[in-house]
Structures are given as structure tokens and as C-alpha cells.
A and B are shown apart, each in its own frame.
Chain A
Amino acid sequence: MRWLGRLLFLALVWADVRASEGAEVFLGVTRSEVFRIPLGILYVVTPPDQAKYSSEIRTVLEGDLRRSQVFRVIHPPLVPELAGGETPSAELIKKAGRQDLQAAVWISFAQKGEELMLEGRVYDGKTGQMVMGKRYMGQAQHLRTVIHRFSDDIVFQYTGERGVAETRVVFSSSLTGSKELYLMDYDGYNVRKITGDRSLNLSPKWSPDGNWITYTSYRGGTPAIYTLDMATGRLSKTVGLPGLNISPAWSPSGGELAFASSRDGPTQIYRVDREGKALRRLTLDQSDNLSPTWSPTGAEIAFTSNRGGSPQIYMMNAAGTNVRRLTFSGDYNTSPSWSPKGVSIAYTCRVDGRLRICAISPDGATLARLTDGPGEDESPAWSPDGKHLIFSSTRLSRGDLFMMNADGTEMERLTFSGAKNNSPAWSP
């Protein structure tokens, strides 16, 4: 940031300020927003009796593409020739593309009985050439999934990285009176219950391959860590040391599980292998240490510790050595979550007595408070592409999940059940 110093220096030279009492200067800089590709859905072709699907397809796809942060969705005027239902020619696309469209989307959809077919094509708005085209087939009840798949393919086509529209979020909810785990699509739709033991089921986390959900459950009477195999529905007990077994977190390779246990008195961080064996204690201090989160390389772990007198975020390498403190601002910083891109650690910070979501760079140099407003926010979790955060908040209710961009903008509410919904985790 030496630039700012030099800027001021030059500004003062240029301003040629004369000696006087209380001199003031006015300066400024302007930054341009990151460019987003203008994209428009030109037409959705459906059989005449299935026209109702057209608006759902548009809404879902536009939402997915907007959230990807890659596209700016625009609504060009309808090109009447497209209403015929035939696949558009390059000339027609170029005509539509005159509305400054860079990506033009054309969709043909039909449902036959229990099956659907969605053909999605993306054209370059300037040349009219088709950039990608795919025909998706699936069950009728999976229409949203098909649209999400198309959106992720479009994002991949333009950036080389898949979008996250097909991903899911697991969370804990008090809807039934106890705390059960629920799954939902990344956009809040299709909420479905995945535990049903009427105990406390907390802190769910995904395995890196998305096949398991590991969580703390009181189903056996005391808090132990269980793993649910999503393919088979089989539940197994992974760790059951005396005392607390909480805040599980899989290493990025899926080979190790870090968690916190109070078997030795104060809560400490341990690791085990995926069979629950080879137990190793990582933290040695007589304070409380919990909520481990792995760096994307698996080399380091950030965690909460009150060894300094108040709960703060610390870092150590994955063997437990080289412990250093990361947060120095505020008296309550907990629940870290390391971005899959490695560049940022989101956590819950207490600001003016209220919990907020903050983010800090792993070197501690850059710190930002991301949320504000009524109520309190906690428990941030990253999307697998590192572009979004999901967290729980009491800003509008007893506790609901919200999604926002990594910079705190475009906040969107995801749950509306009226229960306390918290502890979200985003699938890979």
C-alpha cells in the first residue's frame, strides 16, 4: 500500500498548499466493479401444454447464473422468430445479440410421462456460433437438478471451473423439537430430513468426496461422533471417547478426521484416521481448543482456543506444532472455516457485543467484517468454489440460513421453516 503514500505526496505537491490554519485537501480514487458477462435466455421452447415450465426454467437458471458471479443476466426483447420452436440460426442469434449480449441461451424442454428432456444451447452473441450444447435426460421430479447441471456446465464452459448449483447444504434444525439433520439444495429448495432419532444431532460436516456426513450426536446418551454413509444410509460410530466428542472436520484428502474431545479435562483437538484409529492429540495447552478447520492443502489447521484468556482463532500445522495466534481484534472470535481456495478464513467475531461473520487472510494481515444488521450471525461455511459463504443468523427469525458472496454482498435468505436452523455445511 505504498501507493497511497506516494499518491498523497504527489497530491500535496500538486495542490501547492499555502501555509494556513486548518488546511484540508480533498482527494479520491475510483475502482471499477469486476466485469460480468452479459447473458440472456432468449427462449424456452416447450410443448404447448407444458408452457408453465418455461418460467420455472428461466427463474431457476437465471438464479444459478447470477449467483455464479460470472454472468450479468439481462432480458433482451423477444425475437419473434424464436417462437416457432426451431433451433436458432447464427443470423437470428446475432440479431438478438445486438442488445450487447455476449452469451445467448436457448432451451428446448419436453416432459413425457415420468421423464424429461432439456436441450440447452449457448451461443456467442456476437458471432451467432454455438459455444456449447447439451441434451439432459432425467426423471420429471428432478427438473431443478437438470437446470442446475446445465448452469454448472455453462459456468465451466466460460471459466474452466464448475458452478455450485448442483451442490447441497446439510444443517441442524430444531423443527421437530429435538435437533435433527436436514439436507437442502444450495438455493434452499427441497429440504429433506436425514436423521430421525429424536436426540441432539449437531455440527455436521461433509467428507471431501461428498459420500459421508460426519456429526456429533447424543443418540447414545452422550455426545459422540457418527458418520452417515449417504449412499447406503448406514450409520456408524466413528469416535466415542469419554466426555465431549465434537466439531469433527475431515482433512482435504479424506484420510484423517480432526475433532475435539474433553477426555483429558479441558477440550483438546485430536485426529484419527478414517477407521477411527491411530488417535493422536494435537493441542497440549490447558485451555479449551476446538472447532478445527483444515487448510485446502491439509498442511495446517485453524481452530478456536482460549489459551490467551478469551476465545480467539489460532493456527497450527497438521501435526500440532508451530501454534500461532491469528486474531487480535475483539474479545470473542470462534468457529473458523478455511476457504477451499486457501486465501481466507471466515469465522464468527463479536463486534459491539453481537456476533458477526468476519474473514481474515491466513497471514493475519487482511481482516474484514462481512455482516451487519439486526440479530446475530454465526457458523460460516464456504461454498466449494470459495465464492460464497453460508451462515446462520437471527436477523429475521429465531435462526435461519443465509447465503452471501465472499465479500459480504448479495445476501439471500435460504430457510423459512420457523425453527432454529444452524450449523450449515456445504457439500463438495
Chain B
Amino acid sequence: MNLSLLPLLQQLVLVLAAIVLFLSFVLLAQNRLISAIHAFAWQGALVAAVTTVVAATGHIHHLYFSAALTLALKALLIPWMLHRLVRRLELERHTESLQSPTLVTMAAVALVIFSYWLVLPMIQEELTFTRNIVAISLAVVLIGLLMMVFRTQAVAQVLGFMSMENGLFLAAVSATGGMPLVVELGVAFDVLVAMVLFGVFFLQIRESIDSLDVDRLNRLRETGGDQ
């Protein structure tokens, strides 16, 4: 693929997608919750920007709507809700570092390569643009997953979950020009409800273990015969 032959707007999509990926790394390595929430909000805003650009290049009108939806939900509403919850739970100053940040970052890099390798044989030559973006989105999804595995703090896990959703939106927008509107609305609704429920759970977890460190949720284990 020759980049200089692509229209400028498509180049812009690539750049924005790359920054979304970078923000995933930032989220992964971010120690302060508030900064992580900000990084997540920026990621959402970028996904909305990608959606807008794709809408403009393809003249797909319903995408403008979903861009606005993404912006409202992912860049404004959910970060705001998380912010409020963090303040309510008095976690603003909470910092928590990964056990071995370098290793986790390297794992994330490996995931990027893995997702490219996964997508590589999949799509024919003429669709390289799409394929490359799908690889990036898949990487964002997998890094979100990685974040949920390595973060033990409930809010950070939720951020990982939501950034997975960002990756999915990116894939849907860039590979397929957006899912049908009903589906997108349904997904957005589910995400919103999930966010509200997460909020409820933060309070419940806090009430039951007096902390949001999910590692301490360990009462339910496979009990061995000798215990």
C-alpha cells in the first residue's frame, strides 16, 4: 500500500487510529486514576473523530449520528460518571502501579504484533487499508483485555473494559462503515447500562471489602479436598 496515494482524509484516519492505540498504552501504564480517566476520554473523542472523518469520506450520514453518540457517551458521559464516582469514593489521589510495567508494556507490544499477524492472511490485497485498521482495533481490544487482567483496581478494570469497547467501535466504523443504526444504538445503550451497573458495583464492593482492590475479592475459590 502506498500511503501517499491515499486521500488525505484516509491518512488522517490512520493517524487518529494510531493515536487511539497509543492512548491504550497510556491507559495501560497510567498509575493515577484521574489521569487514566482523562486518557480514556481522549480515546473516546478520537474514536468519535475517526467516525466523523469516515462519515465525511464515505458520505455515510448515519455515521455523523453515531459519531455524536460516541462523543457524548465515551468522551463526556462515561468519563464524567467515572470522575464523579472516583470523587465520591475519595479515590482522586489513588495511585496504583503495575507490578512490572515494562513487562506489561512489552506484552502489549506483543499483542499489537499478534493482532496484525492474526489479521494479515485474512483480507485480500485490495482492502489493505481496512485490514490495517482492523489490526489496530483488535490490538486496542486486546490491550483493554490485558489491562483488565493486570489491573486489580475496580475502576481501572472498568476503564479497560470501556477501552475494549472503544476498539470495537473503531473496528466497526473503519472496517464496515458502522453497524446498522439499531445495533449501534443497542450497543450504546448496553454500554451505558453497564456503566451505571458498574457504579452500583463500586459501591457494593466498597461496602463489602472496604476497598476497590479486586484482588481482595477472593473468597470464592476452588476449594481443594484437603482444605
Do A and B originate from a single complex? no
Q: What is the interface of chain B, defined by CB distance below 8 A to chain A?
A: none
